Amino acid sequence: VKARMSSPIRVVQVGLGPVGQMLTPFLLERPYLKLVGAVDIDPHKVGRDVGEVCRLDQKLNVKVVDGLDRLSKENADVALLTTTSYLSGVVPTLEQLAKLEWDVVSTCEELSYPWTRQPALAERIDAVARKHGISILSTGVNPGFLMDSWPITATSICRKVERIRIERIQDASQRRLPFQQKIGVGLSTDEFRARAASGKFGHVGLTESMQMIAARLGWKLNRTEDQIEPVLAEKDLDTALGHVKAGQAIGLQQIGKAFRGSDEIVTFVFRAALNQPDPADTLHVFGIPSFKVTIPGGIHGDIATCAVVTNAIPVVRGAAPGLRTMADLPPVGFCLEPGRIDHYQESRK
């Protein structure tokens, strides 16, 4: 059994790549969190102050170390793991973290719901978490919120759910350049296809979100699809990444589909491209009742991911040991200070 919640909750960041660096200032704002350590393998970061690595205007008096073995069990309560999107990449780290007996909140997309796609790894992670009494959650805006826990919560008012459709239309024009590069701005269709064929292109996690919904609603799926295609420029245009010719990519669109029998019961449309006129996140629930939920303008993914991770910390601290999902835990609301902490504690074994 984990110790009762300490105050402040001592946090170690594992991974100071783009997500980890964005996350740090969120942690500093919460009076009940204390950043006590940071790990990154990048030799340009090791030994430097986290505030400097994250280009903050303050030193944090926390030096980046090159491995978890530099830290000891007593140092911390929870680790924020932001190293990779892929499950296989986090397993060894999770095993180290379990031995340190720190709870884990991660942004690893494939870890958000690995039970269907990679059940052996899911069982292995779950077992080591239970053995050492820690709770592990992976979350973020998506997977974690927009296409799984948010629609699951919405269906609580349904007598019947026949089908779910979610559209996430993002205007990438306002996003940072690495994001624009990531979505393929300026690629020819051949280059786009080649990159797609590499398997490491596009948004990771549509499948995990579909499977989380299905597991929670009690739907047995026959199969899922996740297909990526370029969004093409209709005419030449100048972008922050240079001139893009008509017919070249201005971003990507991914379509996720889940089938129960021959029925397409989940449809995800994930589009991130330049010059999208009406960005929005829209959830359609078809059933009794049928209804639509719209967030005009859409949710800024980077802010939302860092916020969900930060807000999840007290919830994960109070969760039962094991590999948890956003569908198993109490709602991860914004948390100025953990209020009725006892309520969280009770859900612990």
Residues that bind a second copy (CB under 8 A): 26, 29, 115, 141, 145, 149-150, 152-161, 214-219, 287-289, 291-297, 299-300, 303-304, 306-308, 310-312, 319-320, 322, 325, 327-340, 343-344, 346-349
**Smallest distance from a second copy to CB 297, Å:** 7
For 50, 101, 135, 143, 305, the CA distances from 15, given in Å and listed in that order, are 11, 18, 19, 19, 15
- Which token pair is 71? 């830290």
Pick between residue 255 and residue 327 the one whose CB is nearest to a second copy.
327
Using DSSP, state whether 44 is helix, strand or coil: coil
Cβ-based nearer residue to a second copy, 148 or 244: 148
- Nearer to a second copy by C-beta: 149 or 207? 149
Q: What are the tokens at 321?
A: 């040991």
CB of 30 to a second copy, least distance (A): 10
Cβ closer to a second copy: 61 or 290?
290
* CB-CB contact of 139 with 309 (8 Å): yes
Q: How far is the CB of 279 from a second copy (least distance, A)?
A: 12
Phi–psi pair at 334, nearest 5 degrees = -55, 145
Which residue, 166 or 231, has its beta carbon nearer to a second copy? 166
Angle at 268 between CA 180 and CA 181, to 5 degrees: 10
The residue (of 46 and 306) whose beta carbon lies closer to a second copy is: 306
| Residue (99 or 300) nearer to a second copy, CB | 300
| CB 157 to a second copy: min, Å | 4
Contacts of 123 (CB under 8 A, 6+ apart): none
Cα dihedral 117, 120, 123, 126 in deg (nearest 10): -80
Query: Nearest approach, Cβ of 179 to a second copy (angstroms)?
Result: 16
Q: Is residue 205 left, alpha or beta, with left meaning phi > 0 and alpha meaning psi from -120 to 50? A: left
- Between CA 195 and CA 202, with CA 199 as vertex, the angle to 5 degrees is 70
Q: 176, 297 in Cβ contact below 8 A?
A: no
Q: How far, in whole angstroms, is CA 226 from its chain's centroid? A: 17
Residue 29 CB partners (closer than 8 Å, separation 6+)? none
Q: How far is the CB of 105 from a second copy (least distance, A)?
A: 12
Minimum CB distance to a second copy, residue 306 (Å): 7
Nearer to a second copy, 26 or 270 (CB): 26
Q: Rounded to the nearest whole angstrom, what is the least distance from the CB of residue 150 to a second copy in the complex?
A: 7
Q: Which residues contact 272 (CB under 8 A, 6 or more apart)?
A: 170, 172, 175, 179, 183, 203, 251, 252
Residue 21 and residue 15: Cα distance in Å, rounded?
A: 8
Between CA 273 and CA 166 the distance in angstroms is: 17
CB of 327 to a second copy, least distance (A): 7
Nearer to a second copy, 169 or 307 (CB): 307
Q: What span, in angstroms and rounded, lies between the C-alpha atoms of 232 and 230?
A: 6
For residues 341 and 9, the answer to whether their CB atoms sit within 8 Å is no
